[in-house]
Amino acid sequence: LGACLVALAPAAAQTSTDRGVPRATVAATRYDLAIEAAKQSMMSNPSDALLKAREAATLVSAQDEEAAVERATAAWLEGEALTRLNHPEEAGPILDRALAVVKRLAPRSKLHADLLRSQSTIAALDGEIARAMQNLQQAHAIYRGLGDS
């Protein structure tokens, strides 16, 4: 979080402030906090994770590539929460859109692998075992390439 705030500081310094903190930094912090809260509550309270993921998505206002990846991160968590709440039919299209963005803007990233893993769960729930295995194998290859297997 600290590195993210430092990276934003030069651009944020040119914006107006909220209690002495540049607005861009405030927004980034709220986004980061919402994403972290969604991740932390995913296992124990997917309903709360869903709310936090959706909140995070609303905090991304920029239209650049970095913002698109941030929205894809929020969408991944939204899709994961929906799947855990037994709504894979809602989660599937959300995950598909996020994966399309990440394939283009952040290929072979951890987010790419996370999205493939989430899609494998939906494929398995739909009885598409071959597709589920293919997604899991692709995710595993990405995780291994990142040293995170």
- Whether the Cβ atoms of residue 75 and residue 97 lie closer than 8 Å to each other: yes
Q: Give per-residue pLDDT as tens, 24-52.
A: 566 668 999 999 999 999 999 999 999 99
Helices (H) and strands (E) counted in the chain, each on its own, are 7, 2
Q: Is the whole model's pTM more than 0.95, yes or no?
A: no
3-state secondary structure of 115: helix
Q: Give per-residue pLDDT as tens, 104-128.
A: 999 999 999 999 999 999 999 999 9
